[in-house]
Structure 1
Amino acid sequence: MFDRSRRKMFTRRRTPELQRLPWVIDEAVFTDSCTRCNKCISACESQIIVKGDGGFPTIDFNYGECTFCYRCAEACPESLFHPQTDNPWELKAQINQSCLAHNKIECRSCGDMCEVQAIRFRLQAGGVAQPALKADDCTGCGACLSVCPTSAITMVINEVEEK
């Protein structure tokens, strides 16, 4: 197993670190058991699974969205995935200040692509409608990411609060 945190020191990425596949049991188990056979890459219906660090498969939302088809898990010869009935991951979209709407320029690309309507726009009197992200509705599919003209949307891991 290798330490990714040290690699980050030497790389400058415009996009956030690529995400593991949905339903992956655990990062450590995945990197220890994945044979890098690429069957998940071939099985992906939206072709967003790419080779990442060390040849391990990752999701790259620049190519599109995850449809949660579960084909990656079904194609995998190893036992690396939770059942499809489980939540695929804790990823959620986050919109930062480089959003065109935040800078008084009309754009609703992300809202148009959000099938579950987690991104809606609030009208502003005498101004540009502002995006409002309802994190509870966001599936983390990444559809909004590739259409954003300013790369103002990132995917973050939604921290589940412990009670």
Structure 2
Amino acid sequence: MSQGVDPTRRALLRGRIRPVTASLPLPWALPWQAFVAGCDRCQACLHACPQQIIVPGEGGFPTVDVQRNHCTFCRACADACPKALFVPATERPWSLIATLSSACLAKQRVFCQSCRDSCEPAALTFSPAPGGIAQPRIDAAACNGCGECVVACPAGAIAIGQPLAESQEING
């Protein structure tokens, strides 16, 4: 009899409460292929990050882990880099935004608005729903992908990923 393995339970037993997420590029970084081609993995960006969210990813290349903390877009990583691997600060840091999974407590009919309370750009809102529990919405145009909602979510239901479209609203 074959039973599926729940990776979140396995992670819990190993001391990781939140599931492992995909690696994110550094804000203002060149496209991944160009970044990897020029990066010598000196780790200057890791040591410069005041939020300590830059970690060695696959192959030792720096990536952002928003489960550790959120990105303040201070640009310390770009300023510390001895190579020209970042675009100017006048551009948007990245096009990543928050996405919600079905593990969201509000979707499970449990009152929770932790993500909204932590969202500085007010990209997360809650709309009244039949049955009494307000449902979350992410305004893709307002979301900067900082990850503060990821840190605040008690259910680990939020991830930072590629947007569908800049002007589109994402319903939870």
CA shift at 1:14, angstroms? 3.3
1:56-90 CA distance string (max 9 Å, x none): 11000111111000110000000000001101111
Q: Which SS does the other structure have where 1:58 is aligned?
A: strand
Q: How many residues align?
A: 150
| Structure 2 counterparts to residues 38-117 of structure 1, below 5 A | 38-117=43-122
Aligned to 2:20: 15
How many angstroms apart in 1 are the aligned matches of 2:137 and 2:163?
17
Verify the 8 A CA contact 2:125 2:136 in the aligned structure 1: yes
CA shift at 1:96, angstroms? 1.7
CA shift at 1:15, angstroms? 3.0
How many angstroms apart in 1 are the aligned matches of 2:36 and 2:129?
47
Q: TM-score, normalised by structure 2?
A: 0.82
Distance verdict in 2 for CA 1:105–1:160, change over 3 Å: closer
Q: Identity across aligned pairs (percent)? A: 44
Which amino acid in 2 is paired with 1:62? Answer: Q
Structure 2 unaligned blocks of 5 or more: 1-10, 12-17, 167-172
Q: Which SS does the other structure have where 2:129 is aligned?
A: coil
4+ residue runs of structure 1 moved beyond 2 angstroms?
12-16, 123-126
CA shift at 1:156, angstroms? 1.5
